[in-house]
Amino acid sequence: MDDVTPDPYATPIEFGQRMQILRQRRGMARVVLAGLVDKSPSWVKRVENGQLQTPGLEMILRIAEALRVSDLAELTGRSSMRVDLFTGPGHPRLAAVRDAVNAFPVRGDRPAPAAEHIRARLRHAWSARHSAPNHREVVGALLPGLIEDAQLAVRQADSGAERRAAQAALSEVYSLSQFFLAYQPEPALLWRVAERGIVAAQESEDPHTIGVAAWLTAQAHRDSGPSHFDAADTVTTSTLQYLEPLLPDASDDVRAITGALQFEAGYTAARRGEAGAAWRYWDQAEQTAQTLSADYFHPVTSFSRAVMSAHAVTVAVELRSGTESARQAARAEVSVIPSRPRRARHRIEQARGYQLDGQPDVALATLDQAYEAAPETIRYNGYARKIVLEETEAASPDRRRRACELASKIGLLTA
């Protein structure tokens, strides 16, 4: 049929045609792509029509980021550039976690552990995630047993109260699973876990559990690209409307997940390029953070007073403001964040800010710090991988060497 979108691999087509096909597959208008790569809509049109030659590597990477292309070969057509960007390598524990999710037992031949026992194991798992440099390995080892036992607890609950408690624990297990599955080559499994998590949260009738599941679902929508931004906004807005009336009498955890959702709304606004709304939501989240004690730290979202400066860097970076990104990156304090993966993620956001501000050497040094904090975070982060890959072709020999060394450590160029 003539109206079927062709497969970019089916025939040897040019870069511009591939870019147009991939843009249309995402349902993205030219003007949107142009804004995301800081070009005009007419520039995008001329590239797609072949009136301009293929851009350089830096622009190719920016286009890949905007289109959420996971493999550069899909965009360039060159098998020599078959490098995954936004999907990290499959973790060795992935198969066991996948099997546990897919098993979903209908019956159990043994008594399920009590919900409080599962919660104690969850507290240990979250603590291990925040403290271990190889956090995916640690969490991946714990998840299969947690998934099986939490599912059994729901199946075997005798009363309504027991079932709600078990559903809350199961939803939290699925939340932990999403952190393990993020940026791995299993998007369908990630969505399956997200959907089960939010259903279990609703069955629990627990505000905090519902908020956590909504927070993760909103992230999943936003990371799926611009065509899903409205869905992310719907999730955050509706959940905030549910949670905010509860705040006067709420626990610290409920206030924290409310603040985390307020920031998520700002994050999506920043992705849209809506600076006023992005900073307004950041201000709301900052006000919520100030209602928490100085040493409070939410175990799932990392929401706290300390993390708000890191969130400011993210907003500035997503708004593509180089000067503001670098300013926020320089003033943000990383050492006070009591989580290795969150500190590493913050370092990556700082590196993005420094790169936007034309400071690639500082960006690379910051990524080295991210690697030292949590190697598995930088290994699976698409933005970090993009910066490193770009700098492997830098004009400066010293910067090329440093980028290649980091690329080797994170396994970027072994695909």
Q: Tell me, what's the pLDDT at 8?
A: 39
Report the share of the chain in percent with pLDDT over 90. Answer: 64
Judge if 284 and 315 occupy the same domain: no
- Tally the domains of the chain: 4
Judge if 51 and 135 occupy the same domain: no
Q: What is the pLDDT of residues 103-141, one digit of tens each?
A: 866 666 788 998 889 999 999 999 999 999 999 999 999
Residue that the structure tokens 């559990």 belong to: 209
Confidence of residue 413 (pLDDT cuts 50, 70, 90): low
Domain end marker among 305, 320, 349 = 305
Q: Is residue 218 part of a domain?
A: no
Judge if 313 and 300 occupy the same domain: no
End-to-end CA distance of the chain: 35
Confidence of residue 147 (pLDDT cuts 50, 70, 90): very high
Domain end marker among 205, 220, 252 = 205
Give the pLDDT mean for 293-299: 95
Judge if 259 and 337 occupy the same domain: no
Q: Is residue 355 part of a domain?
A: yes
Residue 72: give the domain boundaries. Answer: 15-81
Q: Tell me, what's the pLDDT at 411?
A: 82
Domain end marker among 55, 81, 107 = 81
Let me know: does 257 contact 288? Beta carbons within 8 Å.
no
Q: Is residue 214 part of a domain?
A: no
Q: What is the pLDDT of residues 8-45, one digit of tens each?
A: 344 457 889 889 888 888 788 888 888 888 889 899 99
Q: Is residue 301 part of a domain?
A: yes
Q: What is the pLDDT of residues 331-355, one digit of tens each?
A: 887 778 989 999 999 999 999 999 9
Q: What is the pLDDT of residues 164-175, one digit of tens each?
A: 999 999 999 999
Q: Tell me, what's the pLDDT at 374?
A: 94
Considering all CA atoms of the chain, what is the largest pairwise distance in Å, rounded to the nearest integer?
69
